[in-house]
Chain A
Amino acid sequence: MLKKKHIVSMRDFTRKDVDFILNCAEKMLPYATIGTPALQSKILALLFFEPSTRTQLSFDSAMKRLGGSTLSLSSEGSSILKGETLTDTIKVVEGYTDAIVLRHPREGAARMASEISSVPVINGGDGAGHHPTQTLLDLYTIRKESHLNNLDIALLGDLKYGRTVHSLTYALNMFKANITLVAPEGLQMPKHIIDTLDSVTVTDKLDNVIRDVDVLYVTRIQKERFPDPNEYLRVAKSYRISLPILQGVRDNLIIMHPLPRVDEIATEVDQTKHAKYFQQAFYGIPVRMALLTIVMDGAL
């Protein structure tokens, strides 16, 4: 049994906790399309102070699949614009709901909310900080579509600023994965994270690694990170996943992406057996159903 009331950071979890959550997600999988009344009459607050499509929609869907209902709030038109602190908002909303999902532009916002809230807080992403439910659904996808033991995985793209890859790297290290970090100069994973990894290779060349991995985790490289637009185009092109690049890869390679994608994966790749990013987005439902059920003490 998971003894966590809040879901804030992957750092709060042991390997055993993660296994427990992934097992719960597995139990939820059949109900992710037909529903189950595990959280009937419960109410979930979706406090999104930053735009989000997938996270908000999938929490909304997950809660409704569990027979519960949701209350949404966005900063536009709310008392936040009148200067209300997050602390006050949390103290009010905890009285209206059984759990809170929070996305906030400031790092550490979910931790602070968890310290003051009497109902469970789930971090839906805090600034450039953490996004633990994304990490858990990534792990679930890897376990379901590939394997977590003896895993060879390459993370590709903006590894410096991408919040999903920081939490994911931390979690993959729990499973003793062989991690290859592929990023252009200036966008490589921060050294203080690399230093904590047990088995890691750092490179800027994708060709060298794509044939030797079970999972290729692609993230978006943002144009704004490059002062020179030509340099951006050169880098973006060299990291673009297309059919020719996939020649000679492992038969069971899976390609993942937290989405939204722009052009880092060619649409023709969608038709291959390697493409798992839409499946990955779907797995957000059973994983979040499991987490909601765990924190609200529903029957699993």
Chain B
Amino acid sequence: MMSDKKKEELRVRSIRNGSVIDHITAGNALNVLKILDITGVTTAIVSVAMNVPSERLSSGRKDIVKIEDRELIPEEVDKIALIAPQATINIIRDYEVAKKSLVELPRIISRIVRCPNLNCISNSNEPVYSKFRVMDSVALRCSYCEGIIDKDIAAYLI
């Protein structure tokens, strides 16, 4: 008999080198791909699993994304934290987990999310980048107009 754990691991194949983003809030796998700029024309080998049973996430479901031959950089990890705060990132080298980390929400994020307020100075022709203060419970406050994004952050990703 194969254990449930083993079955789950087999849902998507192991990768030799690359990144595995696990424990993504169910429903956000495609947003993670968007953050990582992976579109339909990508040449990378990417595996996506959606709504996989999860004991850790309170919804009981999670998404998983595996990208071969690409190690995520900190800026990308920060972006993922915004939409999947419980995600874990595994960097794989030669089939082994070389580095495992939880995503961490930075206090300030810049150039990641655009302000929904079209009249905000950060949406003008001024040479200024969007900047947000990360508040409790993953809400963002624009450092310029002080407007708040508290839902559907993925829609405002740059």
A residues lining the B interface (CB < 8 Å):
9, 11, 85-87, 104-109, 111-112, 115, 126-130, 192
* Residue of B whose beta carbon sits closest to that of A192: B148
**A85-B125, A87-B128, A112-B122 given; 12 more Cβ-contact pairs under 8 Å:** A9-B146, A11-B146, A85-B126, A85-B127, A104-B121, A107-B117, A108-B115, A108-B145, A111-B121, A111-B144, A112-B128, A112-B144
B120 at the interface (CB under 8 A from A): yes
Tell me the smallest distance from the CB of A41 to a CB of chain B, in Å.
32
Instruction: Tell me the bound Cα distance from A11 to B143 in angstroms.
Output: 11
Find A107's partner among B125, B126, B127, B147 (CB 8 Å cutoff). B147
The reply to whether A108 and B144 contact each other, CB–CB distance below 8 Å, is: yes
A111-B148 contact in complex given A85-B126, A87-B127, C-beta closer than 8 Å: no
- The interface centre, meaning the residue of B126, B147, B150 with most chain A CB atoms within 10 A of its CB, is B126
Chain A residues near B120 (CB-CB < 8 A): 106-108
The answer for the CA separation of A156 and B118 in the assembled complex, in Å, is 28
Interface 0/1 of B106-147, CB less than 8 Å to A? 000000000101011110111110000000000000111111
Q: Which among B122, B126, B145, B148 is the interface contact of A87 at CB below 8 angstroms? A: B126
Question: Residues of A contacting B117 with CB < 8 Å?
Answer: 107
How big is chain B's contact interface, by range? 10 to 19
- The residue of chain B having its C-beta at the shortest distance from the C-beta of A83 within the complex is B125
Residues of B close to A85: CB separation below 8 A? 125-127
Q: Tell me the total A-B contact number using a CB cutoff of 8 A.
A: 54
Out of A104, A105, A108, name the residue touching B122 (CB < 8 Å): A108
Is A106 touching B124 in the complex (CB atoms < 8 A)?
A: yes
- Taking CB atoms, residues of chain A closer than 8 Å to B121 are 86, 104, 106-109, 111-112, 126
* Closest chain A residue, CB of each to CB of B147: A107
Please name all residues of chain B whose beta carbon is closer than 8 Å to the beta carbon of A192 when the two chains form the complex. 148, 150
Please tell me if the beta carbons of B142 and A108 are within 8 angstroms of each other in the complex: yes
Complex: A112 Cα to B128 Cα, angstroms = 8
Which residues on B sit within 8 Å (CB–CB) of A9?
146
Q: Give CA–CA (A195, B99) in the complex, Å.
A: 42
Name the distance in Å between A228's Cβ and chain B's nearest Cβ. 26
Residues of A within 8 A of B126 (CB): 85-87, 112
- The residue of chain B having its C-beta at the shortest distance from the C-beta of A106 within the complex is B121
Known contacts A85-B125, A87-B128, A127 near B119 by CB under 8 Å: yes
CB distance from A93 to the nearest CB of B (A): 15
Q: Across the interface, do A107 and B119 meet the contact criterion of CB distance under 8 Å? A: yes
A114 → B minimal CB distance (Å): 10
Give the one of A11, A87, A104 with max B CB within 10 A. Answer: A87
Q: Which A residues lie within 8 Å of B148 (CB)?
A: 192
- The listed residue with most B CB atoms (<10 A of its CB), out of A105, A115, A129, is A129
Contacts of B150 on A, CB cut-off 8 Å? 192
- Please give the distance in Å from A57's CB to the nearest CB on chain B: 25
> For B115, B121, B124, B142, which residue has the most chain A Cβ atoms within 10 angstroms?
B121
Interchain CB contact under 8 A, A108 and B127: no
Q: How far is the CB of B121 from chain A (nearest CB, A)?
A: 4
CB distance from A138 to the nearest CB of B (A): 19
Least CB distance from A206 to B in Å reads 29
Q: Please list 10 pairs of residues, one from A and one from B, whose beta carbons are closer than 8 Å in the complex, sorted by A's number.
A: A9-B146, A11-B146, A104-B121, A106-B119, A106-B120, A106-B124, A108-B144, A112-B121, A126-B121, A129-B146
Which residues from chain B contact A130 at a C-beta distance below 8 Å? 146
In B74-93, the 8 Å CB interface with A consists of none
- Chain B minimum-CB-distance residue to A127: B119
Residue of B nearest to A104 (CB): B121
Q: Write the chain B residue with the least CB distance to A166.
A: B146
- Complex alpha-carbon distance, A9 and B146, angstroms: 9
Question: Complex: how many Å from CA A127 to CA B142?
Answer: 15
Q: For residue B142, which residues in chain A have a CB less than 8 angstroms away from its CB?
A: 108
One of A86, A107, A115 near B145 (C-beta < 8 A): A107
